[in-house]
Amino acid sequence: MAADNEISAIYYIQHHLQNLTFGYHPQNGWSLASSSTEAVEMGFWAIHLDTMGWSIGMGVLFLWLFRKAGKMATTGVPGGLQNGVEMVIEFIENLTRSTFHGKNPHIAPLALTLFMWILLMNSLKVIPVDYFPQLFGKLGFEYMKIVPTTDVNATLGMAFGVFCLIVYYSCKVKGVGGFAKELSLTPFNHWSLIPFNLVLEIVGLIVKPISLGLRLFGNMFAGEVIFILIALLPFWAIWLLDVPWAIFHILVVTLQAFIFTTLSIVYLSAAHEHH
């Protein structure tokens, strides 16, 4: 009986951590993966439908909320939505002014988009872990992970997007030659140490998006695992532990969105600086 319970618990954890994957399987052709093994066999070009769907959905929700707040804006007594949106915009403006030292009108809107999009995706974590898997299971879908930031593909995708902007603005502001010179002569300004500088700077440049994405993924994934483990406990223990952990995780959700946004601004600020 204990062995059966252990197997059941392992299956439950694996099931809740598996994405709804669509791709080309060598034997089944284009199909949804029915197991983690099939998902692996589909290879690199397989797509996580749940990650894509929920992340796009949260992006649309962000645009809809801010558009609605803009259309409802009044100089009189503002409503709750307008107050909330104005607070977020003011917060991001202050963060950008204190962190970004270049001149670029696109940085603040980018920071606002990153913060709100990540915050909304992270916030899906407060929904009970069984709710949507059971709901979509009744609709015929074997798997359903609703928190996009617990998928490393999503977090690294956003991080590499920031990385592309870092390289773009580094070349635009400093020129391709200036950017190459910065990589070659930093930190040691001597021609004989150019190979060492290049290795050091290129590794540091590549590590930025990787650490940015993995930090967000690691914190969100760990929190998801703990929610799943709590769900395996007896009924009385679930309420005893789940509510305090959910309240604590609200802080983590906001903090991780803040950290990702702040580091993105810092990296982009460095891309605008001349050395």
- The verdict on whether 219 is a catalytic residue reads yes
Question: Rounded distance, CA 256 to CA 220, Å?
Answer: 8
Q: Please answer whether residues 81 and 65 qualify as being in contact, where contact means their C-beta atoms are separated by less than 8 angstroms.
A: yes
- The verdict on whether 215 is a catalytic residue reads yes
Q: Is 32 helix (H, G, I), strand (E, B) or coil?
A: strand
- Which residues are CB-neighbours of 35 under 8 A, at least 6 positions away? 18
Measured at the CA of 140, the angle between CA 25 and CA 49, to 5 degrees, comes to: 50
Measured at the CA of 115, the angle between CA 101 and CA 50, to 5 degrees, comes to: 140
- Which one is catalytic: 28, 35, 36, 215? 215
- DSSP annotation of 29 reads E
- The verdict on whether 197 is a catalytic residue reads no
Q: Please answer whether residues 86 and 19 qualify as being in contact, where contact means their C-beta atoms are separated by less than 8 angstroms.
A: no
- Which one is catalytic: 19, 122, 219, 264? 219
Q: Is 200 helix (H, G, I), strand (E, B) or coil?
A: helix
- Both tokens of 70, joined, read 């803009």
- Both tokens of 73, joined, read 């804006």
Q: Is 219 helix (H, G, I), strand (E, B) or coil?
A: helix
Strand-pair partners of 32: 22
Query: C-alpha distances in angstroms, 89 versus 106, 116, 177?
Result: 14, 10, 36
**Which residues are tagged catalytic?**
211, 215, 219
